[in-house]
Structure 1
Amino acid sequence: MTLSTVQTDQLLDLARGQLQASNVVLSRPQLLIIVDRSPSVQQLLVVAASPSEGWQVIGATHVSTGKPGRREHFLTPLGVLQNTPDIVGYRAEGTRNEYGIRGLGVRGMRVWDFGWQETDNWRWPGTKINIRMAMHATDPDALEPRIGRPDSQGCIRIPAVLNRFLDRHGVIDAEIETAAQSDPRFAALLLPGRIPTPIAGNTVVVVDSSLARQSGLAAMTQR
């Protein structure tokens, strides 16, 4: 699915709204990631965002977000996720589970860990639950071909090629790069030979365009 200009602009507006609601202010031009968890969209945008100028989409791809309804599967939480030195991320070991699945992808794939985040608990409507939120690759044989539809336990599954791009260029590693200068844990995490972008950021914004459409339709029916 290729997003139209109208759809893209809507996602940018939704992301700005999430940043404002979370009191996150962009103080400089930087890259950020927008994820639309809408079941019919499942898209990730890499955006060059400026506090004073328009935002520009520099890349897009499909992802898979949470698919509630099965044990330990929940909606990917809406809101702002930030990659900070409060949590040390990690890399996939490439080990297989009892079903032969490499849930985080092949060995060495980056895992961005955003800690515990609150989302809807489908088992008891109207309640919330905390899930461990991350963005990572997935099994290249069994699960990556399914990217583009809701499929995860709540994390953001991304293609391996995007994982490598974000990792190599430190797209959301601005604070991690700084921490790595004095903390060997972060120095060990970051990719040797990387080429960090000078406009790296630290933010992933999760939106849901289907909720916006539902709100718009509801408003129209009330006129």
Structure 2
Amino acid sequence: MNTRLLDTLRRKNKQIAGAVELALRTIMPSAARPSGGLSRRSAVLALGAFLGWSLSAGVSAETLLPEGAAPASPAPLAAEFAQQVASRLLIPEDEQLAYAARLQDALAAAQVTLAAPQFIVLVDRSPNVQAALLYWGSERGWQFVGASPVSTGLPGRYEHFLTPLGVFDHSLANPDFRAEGTKNKLGFRGYGVKGRRVYDFGWIESPRGWGDGSMGKLRLQMHSTDPVLAEPRLGTAQSEGCVRIPATLNDFIDRHGLIDEDYDRALAEGDKLWVLRKDRTPVSSPGRYLVVVDTQREARPDWSPLPVTRKPAAKSKPKPAAKSAAKPATP
């Protein structure tokens, strides 16, 4: 490539980056942005990926989308998510971009570099949000797949932890298992109905939600929950520190193997893994990470409403039979 053409490409790339930053400030007023320190580069990358520009940190001809090129195609499995996951949150585009930037910042802080585009589950533990967002992509750009309400740790009770923040690896170092569907002494099925997958991330340091709030060890898991007593409460903090997700989201992640990168590697090496379902249709680009953030929102956004809990209808009591008239005494 000659020097003149390369200089032209560089100028265009800088112009696009400036336009992206201006658009970001326009469509994302400060009041609408989640609190916390989003890096400008992450925000620009997220918006660039959304518009199909896929900007990189460097200035090279390979990162520039040719003029007139079609915008990026929808994220893999986005249509399937809308059809197969019953509990969904309709997140505005500006919020999708903000969370994509926050996801990238969390990966960078954890020094996680992705070798290829993949699926990642991002959870916002803010009490005013309580949501899981599914993304596909890499540091070159993220595409939003879908979102659902969740329940994270509820402090203030004994043995209740705050769900820890950070990037958590899903690997065979902490093997998954499946729910037995049994109830505890309170009649609660903590892992949901029989057969639901329990995603295990191992022992993690996390703040205790009781006593002096010192650090303790939590077995961090992501799993379904009691379909009657707890799933209707998703969208509010309820758990002992784990991430409770809707049953249909659990099934979706499980069936498509969205965070099974390490499990697929073991299968390719000849291992037999009982926890993997026989009817799974794994994606070609699985991931392996759960990312937990906290936007610390002071108000609940419209797209994440409080769950509506309805009391069972009161059973109507049968009306007492009318008393028959007293018979006159016989002489």
TM-score, scaled to structure 2: 0.61
What is the aligned counterpart of 1:17 among 105, 108, 121?
Answer: 105
Residue 92 to residue 178, structure 1, CA distance change in 2 (3 Å): same
Partner SS state of residue 210, structure 1: coil
Structure ranking higher on relative contact order (CA contacts 8 Å, 6+ apart):
1
Corresponding residue for residue 219 of structure 1: none
1:97 maps to which residue? Answer: 184
Alignment correspondent of 1:163: 250
Please list the CA deviations of residues 106-137 of structure 1 after superposition, one character each: whole Å capped at 9, or x if unmatched: 00000000001111123354631110000000
1:164-203 equivalences under 5 Å are 164-181=251-268, 182-184=270-272, 187-203=273-289
User: 2:233: which partner in 1?
Assistant: 146
Aligned to 2:132: 44
Partner of 1:70: 157
* In 1: Cα distance, 2:195 partner to 2:267 partner: 18
Quote the offset at 1:87 in angstroms.
1.4
**What is the one-letter code of the residue matched to 1:49?**
G
CA distance in 1, matches of 2:181, 2:292: 27
Letter in 1 for 2:279: G
Unaligned stretches of 5+ residues in structure 2: 1-88, 299-331
Q: Does 1:209 align with 2:290?
A: no
Q: Does 1:85 align with 2:172?
A: yes
Stretch moving more, 132-141 or 9-18: 9-18
Match in the other structure for 1:221:
none
- Paired residue for 2:222? 135
Task: Give a deviation string over 1:72-127, Cα, whole Å, max 9, x none.
Answer: 11111000111111111100000000011110000000000000111112335463
Determine if the alignment matches structure 1 residue 29 to structure 2 residue 124: no
Identity of aligned pairs, percent? 44
For each residue in 1:193-215, what CA deviation from the matched residue of structure 2 results, as whole angstroms up to 9, or x when unmatched? 1000111101110001117x7xx
| TM-score, scaled to structure 1 | 0.89
Within the candidate set 47, 52, 60, 2:147 is matched to 60
Query: Contact 1:11–1:207 (CA<8 Å) still a contact in 2?
Result: no
Contact 1:28/1:51 (8 A) holds in 2? no
Structure 2 residue matching 1:44: 3-state secondary structure: strand
Q: In the TM superposition, what is the alpha-carbon distance from 1:169 to its structure 2 partner?
A: 0.2
Paired residues, what number?
210
| Bigger share in strand | 1
Q: How many angstroms does 1:6 deviate by?
A: 2.9
1:10 to partner: Cα distance? 2.3
2:95 counterpart letter in structure 1: Q
Letter in 2 for 1:195: T
- SS of 1:130's partner is strand
Aligned to 1:7: 95
Cα distance in 2 for residues equivalent to 1:139 and 1:126: 28
* Match 1:120 to one of 183, 197, 207: 207
> Larger C-alpha radius of gyration, 1 or 2?
2
Contact 1:74 1:122 in 2 (8 A): yes
